[in-house]
């Protein structure tokens, strides 16, 4: 399965702080540059947590709107992505609370898998992989929001423990333990769905 | 042999185990196939999860993403961090935030309530209005209250207010009098001017007397007499220990007579004594003539007073305008209208009207009676009746020596009726009567008075 090429989550040293200061001074172009740099990772986080393209789009845009409103209070020099991803995670939590339910499993991965399946030379193998992904996504959806967030930031966004701790506002040791429990929980739920071993 | 924990496997997979812990974990993995399988499964699930949770909406989506974010920011009305800070301090921001709007409403309610309370509890200075009204009434009463010889003004006007300053020198007004006098209203000043104009021959060196200019409360009893009820607050009452001793009148010098401050009812038995001039020292009463007992009894019923003041009157021999006859007053002679100065003076004495035929004589006596009543009770309708009665007399005296006197009485009654209660009708009647009198009036105090009244009427 092809994935979109990941871009660096960190701008050049000093460049990020300069953009932040310019945006704080009302420079619209600087803020647009920040949006263009972080739009993909923020969208990934939003999609990973919601598994819905529409929700992910709305959450990603709203994340940057909130960032625009609050950028005057952001301390220039701090890493910007953890701050943005934290906004996205909190918005997702708020969305979950409003809906009072777990996010539904989107059919878009299936659509995407079908598109790839049609272009693949091994349809049987692609079907088995897609089915595994579906079960894994379903098991992931059964996790708590905290476990989903920590797994998303670590597995999908490949953030360090320190950045995850900064994003979630918890100590790094908590990230380690929470990530361990989230993986164990995912394994258990995935095994329950497939009947496979560890 | 203990296996690796989930946390160790998770940390090992993430590469966060360091030092001895990492070395120990790697040694365990070399010897433990289960832990190697578990770690491999963990890494595989992570990769599979990353693939399962990833979604690429396409480059076109991200090309327009920044524009859509900008559109949402503009739709929200946000203009930037700096502008928002300034905007937050603007007055309009108070009306956009519900909490601030509620605070504004509460403040407005408190201010409005305080304003209502202040308006409701504000005190109106009533005394100023009251004093103004009193001044107006005093000025009104001052006009028909000159200083006639013999009869105090209170006895004629029912004593509704204390008189103003006594008559002052004719011309020029002494500076001392102005400095000494109290502050008076313009109407009061006009009244004094009128007094002067009606007494051109009064003695120049009259004594200045202070008066309170305060109204006194009277109540009408069953007999129709005005009885003093009490003294208003602030009324300065300085009773004299004794009246000044009368001294024989010297021709050319003013004579002081007793003037009561206000009227008190008299019993019928004492009324006759009070009417007797001889009961009080009255050396001279210029122009005085006898009048009917009924007339004078009602006029002088208020003769007795607790406080009396000296009132200068012209001595025998002095020129007293408007007086038909000048003769020494005889003891026991009753006070008549002629003793009251030009305003209240009937030049035509009863004896003069006695020379008329029976019908005009009866009409004249009736007119004199009505005039006396009007002077006693003072309302405008009484003066209207008196004027009408004198109008009936004019037919019998037309072309004779009493015509001018009768027309003066008509004009005077009409003017006083207008003064008591002004109306367009009374104004027209008074103006016509004054013009008629002035058309043929000889020079003298009556003419001067009529001219002054006409001038006041025109104002």
Q: What tens digit of pLDDT does each residue of B408-452 get?
A: 889 999 999 998 888 888 888 899 899 988 888 888 888 888 888
Contacts of A43 in chain B (CB under 8 A): 57, 62, 65
- pLDDT confidence bin for A104, thresholds 50/70/90: low
Q: Which of B53, B68, B84 sits opposite A47 (nearest CB)?
A: B53
Question: Poorest-confidence range of A46-60, B62-76, B81-95, B443-457?
Answer: B81-95
Residue A192, domain member (yes or no): no
Hey, which residues 73-102 in chain A have their CB within 8 Å of chain B?
A: none
Read off the DSSP letter of residue B388. H
Mean pLDDT across chain B: 66
Q: Does A128 touch chain B (CB under 8 A)?
A: no
What are the two backbone dihedrals, phi and then psi, of residue B230, each rounded to the nearest 5 degrees?
A: -170, 180
| For range B60-80, the mean pLDDT | 82
Yes or no: say if A17 and A23 are a contact pair by the CB < 8 Å rule.
Answer: no
| Torsion (CA) B174, B178, B179, B185 in degrees, nearest 10 | 180
Does B137 or B14 have the greater pLDDT score? B14
Element (H, E) at B308: strand B308-313
Residue-range domain boundaries for chain B = 6-54, 346-459
Asked whether residue A92 is assigned to any structural domain, the reply reads yes
Find which of A97-111, B178-192, B215-229, B256-270 is predicted with most confidence, using mean pLDDT. Answer: B215-229
Decide: B162 and B211 in contact? Cβ < 8 Å: yes
pLDDT of residue B164: 41
Which chain B residues contact residue A186 at CB under 8 A? 45, 49
Highest mean pLDDT among A190-194, B89-93, B112-116, B252-256 belongs to: B112-116
pLDDT at position A77: 81
CATH, domain B346-459, list 1.25.40, 3.30.1370, 3.30.565, 3.30.70: 1.25.40
Kindly state the average pLDDT of the residues B152-168: 42
Q: In whole angstroms, what is the distance from residue A83 CA to residue A71 CA?
A: 10
pLDDT at B112: 93
**Is pLDDT above 90 for A129?**
no
Which residue in this structure is represented by tokens 């963990």?
A: B42
Residue A101: band (very low, low, confident or very high) from pLDDT cuts 50, 70, 90: low
Q: Is the pLDDT of residue B225 over 90?
A: no
* Residue that has been written with the tokens 């008066």 in this structure: B211
What is the structure's pLDDT at B267?
54
Q: Which CATH number characterizes residue A50's domain?
A: 1.10.1740.10
Domain that holds residue A30: 9-102
B41: nearest CA partner in chain A: A198
More confident residue, B54 or B261: B54
Compute the distance between CA of residue B407 and CA of residue B391 in angstroms, rounded to an integer. 8
Mean pLDDT of chain A: 82
d(CA A159, CA A173): 15
Among A32, A109, A133, the residue with its CB nearest the CB of B66 is A32
Q: What is the mean pLDDT of residues B375-390?
A: 85
- What is the domain count for chain A? 1
Would you say residue B388 has pLDDT above 70?
yes
pLDDT of residue B347: 45
pTM over 0.90: no
Whose CA is closest to A184, among A154, A143, A130? A143
Cis peptide before B172 (omega within 30 of 0): yes
Buried b (16+ CB within 10 A) or exposed e, B424-444: eebbebbbebbebbbeebeeb
pLDDT the model gives residue B65: 92
The nearest CA of chain B is from the CA of A91 a distance in Å of 16
Contact A140 B53 (CB under 8 A): yes
* Strongest mean pLDDT among A59-63, B124-128, B439-443: A59-63
Compute the distance between CA of residue B170 and CA of residue B311 in angstroms, rounded to an integer. Answer: 16
> Is the ipTM of this structure higher than 0.85?
no
Buried/exposed code over B334-357 (b: 16+ C-beta within 10 A; e: otherwise)? bbbbbbbbbbbbbbbbbebbeebe
């Amino acid at each position: 399965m092809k994935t979109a090429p990941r871009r660096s989550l960190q701008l050049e040293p000093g460049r990020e702080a300069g953009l932040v200061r310019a945006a704080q001074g009302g420079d619209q172009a600087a803020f647009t540059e920040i949006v263009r740099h972080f739009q993909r990772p923020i969208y990934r986080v939003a999609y990973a947590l919601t598994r819905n393209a529409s929700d992910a789009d709305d959450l990603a845009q709203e994340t940057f709107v909130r960032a625009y409103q609050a950028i005057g209070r952001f301390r220039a020099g701090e890493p910007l992505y953890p701050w943005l991803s934290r906004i996205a995670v909190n918005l997702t939590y708020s969305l979950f609370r409003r809906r009072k339910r777990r996010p539904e499993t989107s059919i878009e991965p299936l659509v995407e898998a079908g598109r790839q399946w049609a272009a693949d030379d091994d349809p049987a193998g692609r079907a088995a992989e897609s089915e595994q992904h579906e079960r894994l996504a379903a098991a992931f959806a059964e996790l708590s929001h905290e476990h989903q967030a920590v797994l998303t930031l670590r597995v999908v966004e490949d953030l360090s423990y320190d950045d995850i701790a900064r994003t979630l506002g918890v100590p790094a040791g908590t990230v380690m333990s929470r990530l361990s429990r989230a993986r164990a929980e995912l394994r258990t739920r995935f095994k329950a769905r497939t009947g496979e071993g560890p | 042999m203990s296996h690796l924990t989930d946390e160790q496997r998770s940390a090992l997979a993430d590469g966060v185990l360091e030092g001895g812990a990492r070395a120990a974990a790697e040694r365990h993995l070399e010897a433990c196939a289960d832990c190697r399988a578990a770690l491999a499964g963990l890494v595989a699930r992570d990769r599979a999860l990353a693939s399962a949770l990833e979604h690429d909406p396409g480059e076109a989506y991200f090309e327009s993403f920044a524009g859509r974010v900008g559109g949402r920011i503009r739709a929200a009305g946000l203009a930037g961090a700096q502008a928002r800070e300034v905007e937050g301090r603007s007055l309009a921001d108070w009306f956009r935030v519900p909490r601030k709007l509620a605070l504004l409403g509460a403040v407005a309610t408190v201010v409005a309530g305080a304003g209502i309370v202040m308006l409701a509890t504000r005190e109106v200075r009533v005394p100023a209005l009251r004093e103004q009204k009193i001044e107006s009434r005093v000025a009104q009463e001052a006009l028909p209250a000159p200083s006639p010889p013999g009869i105090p003004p209170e006895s004629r006007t029912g004593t509704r207010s204390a008189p103003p300053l006594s008559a002052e020198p004719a011309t020029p007004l002494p500076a001392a009098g102005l400095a000494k006098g109290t502050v008076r209203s313009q109407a009061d000043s006009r009244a004094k001017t009128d007094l002067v104009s009606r007494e051109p021959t009064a003695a120049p060196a009259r004594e200045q007397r202070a008066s309170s200019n305060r109204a006194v409360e009277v109540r009408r009893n069953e007999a129709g007499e005005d009885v003093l009820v009490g003294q208003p607050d602030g009324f300065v009452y300085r009773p004299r220990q004794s009246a000044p001793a009368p001294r024989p009148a010297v021709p050319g010098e003013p004579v002081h007579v007793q003037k009561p401050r206000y009227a008190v009812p008299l019993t019928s038995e004492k009324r006759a004594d009070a009417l007797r001039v001889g009961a009080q020292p009255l050396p001279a009463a210029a122009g005085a003539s006898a009048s009917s007992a009924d007339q004078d009894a009602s006029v002088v019923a208020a003769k007795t007073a607790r406080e009396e003041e000296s009132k200068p009157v012209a001595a025998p021999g002095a020129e007293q305008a408007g007086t038909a006859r000048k003769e020494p007053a005889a003891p026991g002679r009753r006070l008549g209208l002629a003793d009251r100065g030009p305003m209240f003076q009937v030049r035509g004495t009863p004896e003069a009207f006695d020379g008329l035929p029976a019908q005009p004589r009866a009409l004249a006596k009736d007119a004199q009676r009505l005039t006396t009543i009007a002077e006693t009770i003072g309302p405008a309708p009484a003066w209207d009746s008196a004027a009408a009665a004198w109008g009936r007399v004019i037919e019998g005296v037309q072309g004779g020596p009493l015509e001018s006197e009768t027309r003066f009485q008509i004009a005077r009654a009409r003017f006083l009726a207008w003064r008591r209660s002004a109306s367009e009708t009374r104004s027209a009647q008074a103006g016509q009567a004054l013009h008629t009198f002035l058309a043929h009036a000889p020079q003298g105090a009556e003419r001067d008075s009529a001219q002054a009244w006409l001038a006041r009427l025109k104002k």
